[in-house]
Amino acid sequence: MKCRRCKDKGKTEKAIIFLPHHNLSLCKDCFLAWYEKRLDETIKKMDMITKKDKIMVAVSGGKDSLALWYALTRLGYEADGLYINLGIDERNYSSTSGEKAEILSKRLNRPLYVIEVKKQFGKGIPDLNKLTKQPACSICGLIKRYFINKVALENGYTCVATGHNLDDEVATLFSITLSWDIDSLIRQLPILPEKEGFVRKVKPLIGFTEKENLLYCLLQRIDYIREECPLSTGVKTIFYKNLLNRVEQKSPGTKLRFYFNFQKKLHPLLPGQIIPPLHSCSICGQPTTSYDICAFCRFKQRVKHSLQT
Ligand code: SF4
Ligand code: ZN
């Protein structure tokens, strides 16, 4: 198979990938150019960020967020990293993913902020799960949301970019649709605008599949953690992703249509988001919808209490 872009220019370069959902075969150079151009176009078309923004990329050490950090930097955006070490020791998951984030930080010559869950709580996510009986992923989400916002605000970042890809967003949208959870549907946007005490959050990779991000990493020689989080086994999203991959195989382009037609056709018909009034947490000062203390500080108290009993 020949590269379509090269063929159009009268050259004959062998394609390294065929993207059925775009009906496009590309060689190495054309894939890299296509990926970065498409990323920049998505950012500009959706008004996500500009070159004036000071961007914090939330990196996990995985292919998506590292590809995003690297590509944003290549496109001339000012982007630094934040890595949250979840304290998952199984198969050295956290230490290895942290190393990958550090390696890219050095290569890009951009700072990497590191938050260690063990330093905050004296325990990593698996032990916090055992102690509090709260699901590991819900603890992880709470901690990540809290520190991403806090570190970005305290250090003057105007925007946080996360590595959510098309497969992630489609699986989430599918799951929400199955239960017609309207409140969650309203929040399913690639941009969460800045509001008092909350930094703007954007998902620039929504137009890219996991495979495309993986190939970008391989071609740019970005070292990423190959293993999935050991706590992800049995997570429903993985089941939905596999299901949707089968649909995509039969009918290429389904994921792109499902996600972008939702944004274009259905989301505008939904009622606007009702934002409850915000208060400052009486312990940490971060914004919260509760009148007294925020969910993070409540969780911290719960951990402390569980350790004393
Ligand atoms: Fe966090 Fe792992 Fe759960 Fe993902 S799978 S939310 S990284 S604990
Ligand atoms: Zn608080």
Dump pLDDT digits (tens) for 189-240: 999 999 889 999 999 999 999 999 999 999 999 999 999 999 998 789 999 9
Q: Reply yes or no on whether the pLDDT at 23 is more than 90.
A: yes
Nearest ligand 1 atom, CA 235: 5
Bridge partners, residue 2, by sequence: 14
Residue 196 lies in a domain: yes
Sign of CA dihedral 58, 63, 68, 70: positive
Tokens for 76, please give them: 């001339």
Which numbered ligand comes closest to the C-alpha of 287? 2
Tokens for 132, please give them: 């509090």
Tokens 């942290």 sit on residue: 98
Residue 308 lies in a domain: no
Length of the chain as a residue count: 309
User: Is residue 12 very low, low, confident or very high in pLDDT (cuts 50, 70, 90)?
Assistant: confident
Q: What are phi and psi of 45, to 5 degrees?
A: -60, -40
For 111-129, the pLDDT digits (tens) are 999 999 999 999 999 999 9
Number of domains in the chain: 3
Residue 309 lies in a domain: no
Q: Where is average pLDDT lowest: 81-90, 211-220, 280-289?
A: 280-289
Q: Which residues line ligand 1 (CB under 6 A)?
A: 125, 136-137, 140-141, 229, 231-232, 235
Whole-number Å distance, alpha carbon 104 to ligand 2 midpoint, is: 32
CA 68 to chain centre: 9
Do residue 67 and residue 198 come from a single domain? yes
- CATH number for the domain harbouring residue 264: 3.40.50.620
Tokens 């304290």 sit on residue: 87
User: In the prediction, which pLDDT does 234 show?
Assistant: 78
User: Is residue 308 very low, low, confident or very high in pLDDT (cuts 50, 70, 90)?
Assistant: confident
Distance CA 62, CA 98 (A): 10
Domain of residue 127, residue span: 46-271
Whether residue 58 contacts residue 82, with contact meaning beta carbons closer than 8 Å, is answered with yes
Distance CA 22, CA 6 (A): 16
Listed in sequence order, the residues at least 6 apart from 184 whose beta carbon sits closer than 8 Å to its beta carbon are 176
**Which residue is closest in CA terms to ligand 1's atom 7?**
229
Tokens for 231, please give them: 């706590």
Which numbered ligand comes closest to the C-alpha of 279? 2
Bridge partners, residue 59, by sequence: 83
User: Is residue 9 very low, low, confident or very high in pLDDT (cuts 50, 70, 90)?
Assistant: confident
Do residue 112 and residue 174 come from a single domain? yes
The whole-model pTM stands at: 0.96
29-57 mean pLDDT = 97
41-56 mean pLDDT = 97
Tokens for 87, please give them: 């304290």
